[in-house]
Amino acid sequence: MKIGRVFFFDCAARTIVVMALVSALYRPVFASTDSLTMTFNGYFSSLKRDFNACAVSVSTVKKTTNVDLHFIKTLKKHQSVHSLLLTNDKGRVVGESVRGEKPSRAKRSVSGRSWYLKTRKTLAPYDGLTKEDNGRYYLVWCVPLVKTARGHQKFQGAVVAKIDLWDCIHHVAETTKEPFCVRMKDKTLYTHDWETQRIFVEDTLSVPGVTSISIRYQKSGVSPVIAAQASESAPNADQKELSEAAQQKVADALPVENTQAKQGAFKVSKTNIPIVIGLIVLICVITIVLIMQLIGRIRHLVLMKSFDKQDRL
What does the pLDDT look like over 29-57, one tens digit per residue?
333 445 889 999 999 999 999 999 999 99
Mean pLDDT lowest among 9-23, 34-48, 137-151? 9-23
Neighbours of 89 (CB within 10 A): 15
- Name the residue with higher pLDDT: 149 or 16: 149
pTM value? 0.61
pLDDT score at 8: 52
pLDDT at 228 over 80: no
The reported pLDDT for the residue numbered 250 is 35
The CA-CA-CA angle for residues 203, 204, 208, to 5°, reads 150
pLDDT of residue 279: 79
Q: What is the mean pLDDT of residues 147-170?
A: 93
* 226 pLDDT higher than 60: no
Least confident of 2-11, 99-108, 223-232, 270-279: 223-232
pLDDT above 60 (res 91): yes
Query: How many of the other CB atoms lie within 10 Å of CB of 213?
Result: 21
Residue 256 in this model has a pLDDT that exceeds 90? no
Cα 118–chain centre separation: 30
For the chain, percent of residues with pLDDT exceeding 70:
68
pLDDT at 123 > cutoff 90: yes
217 neighbors 201 (Cβ within 8 angstroms): yes
Backbone angles phi, psi at 258, to 5 degrees: -90, 120
Task: Please tell me the predicted confidence (pLDDT) of residue 30.
Answer: 37
Measured CA to CA, the distance from residue 138 to residue 238 in angstroms comes to 33
Q: Which residues, 6+ apart, have CB-to-CB distance to 270 below 8 Å?
A: 221
DSSP state of 223: -
When pLDDT is averaged across residues 111-119 and rounded to a whole number, the result is 94
Of 139-143, 173-177, 213-217, 232-236, the one with minimum mean pLDDT is 232-236
Q: How confident is the model at residue 4 (pLDDT cuts 50, 70, 90)?
A: low
Mean pLDDT to the nearest integer, 4-11: 53
Give residue 236's pLDDT band: very low, low, confident or very high (50, 70, 90).
very low
Confidence of residue 296 (pLDDT cuts 50, 70, 90): confident
First to last CA, the chain: 22
Helix (H, G, I), strand (E, B) or coil at 132: coil
Q: What is the mean pLDDT of residues 102-128?
A: 92
Q: Specify the amino acid at residue 50.
A: D
**Residue 210 binned pLDDT confidence (cut-offs 50, 70, 90):** very high
Q: Is the pLDDT of residue 297 over 90?
A: no
Identify any residues that bridge with 131 across adjacent strands, giving them in sequence order: 137
Confidence at residue 44, expressed as pLDDT on a 0 to 100 scale: 97
Helices (H), 30-143: 35-59, 64-77, 114-122
Alpha-carbon span 97 to 72, nearest angstrom? 7
State yes or no: pLDDT of 82 exceeds 90.
Answer: yes
Note the pLDDT of residue 299.
79
Could you tell me which residues come within 8 angstroms of residue 39 by beta carbon, excluding any fewer than 6 positions away? 172, 175, 176
At 156, is the secondary structure helix, strand, or coil? strand
CA 287 to CA 289: how far, in whole Å?
5
- For residues 85 and 72, what is the distance between their CA atoms, to the nearest angstrom? 11
Q: What is the pLDDT of residue 80?
A: 95
